[in-house]
């Protein structure tokens, strides 16, 4: 099936630990995004990538890092510098900004 796969569905982080969230797509879309949702709030942009080997910071990039070595993959690392990582993380892709975003099913990250 074509689509976006996010894994894991649930993730727990210990203090001081880096964790990586996976996002894989087989839609052949150039652009990929990472958003964060906190309870009762909307989606905030962490990082986005319009093309392989290039990515840009969103509004809340501090404490996060990404890579875009392949078109299909856009992993997000939550580093120990992110002091409040508990949130729901969504990955999304699209062909162009005048076309709709497709979303993965999300990863819920919690701190132990």
Partner 1 sequence: ILNVEQSPQSLHVQEGDSTNFTCSFPSSNFYALHWYRWETAKSPEALFVMTLNGDEKKKGRISATLNTKEGYSYLYIKGSQPEDSATYLCAPSYSSASKIIFGSGTRLSIRP
Rounded to a whole number of angstroms, the CA Rg of the chain reads: 13
Q: Show contacts with partner 1 in window 58-87 (CB under 8 A).
A: 58-59
Main-chain dihedrals φ then ψ at residue 106, nearest 5 degrees = 95, 160
d(CA 62, CA 105): 24
Contact status: 13 vs partner 1 (CB under 8 A): no
Q: Show contacts with partner 1 in window 31-50 (CB under 8 A).
A: 31, 33, 35, 41-45, 48, 50
- 34 vs 78, beta carbon nearer partner 1: 34
d(CA 87, CA 64): 13
Contact residues for partner 1, defined by CB under 8 A: 31, 33, 35, 41-45, 48, 50, 56, 58-59, 90, 94, 96-106
């Amino acid at each position: 099936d074509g689509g976006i796969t996010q894994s894991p569905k649930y993730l727990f982080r210990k203090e001081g630990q880096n964790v990586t969230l996976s996002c894989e797509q087989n839609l052949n879309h150039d652009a990929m995004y990472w958003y964060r949702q906190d309870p009762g709030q909307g989606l905030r942009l962490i990082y986005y990538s319009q093309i392989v080997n290039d990515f840009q910071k969103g509004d809340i990039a501090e404490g996060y890092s990404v890579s875009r070595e392949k078109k299909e993959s856009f992993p997000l690392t939550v580093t120990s510098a992110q002091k409040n990582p508990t949130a729901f993380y969504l990955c999304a892709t699209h062909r162009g900004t005048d076309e709709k975003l497709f979303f993965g099913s999300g990863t819920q990250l919690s701190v132990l």
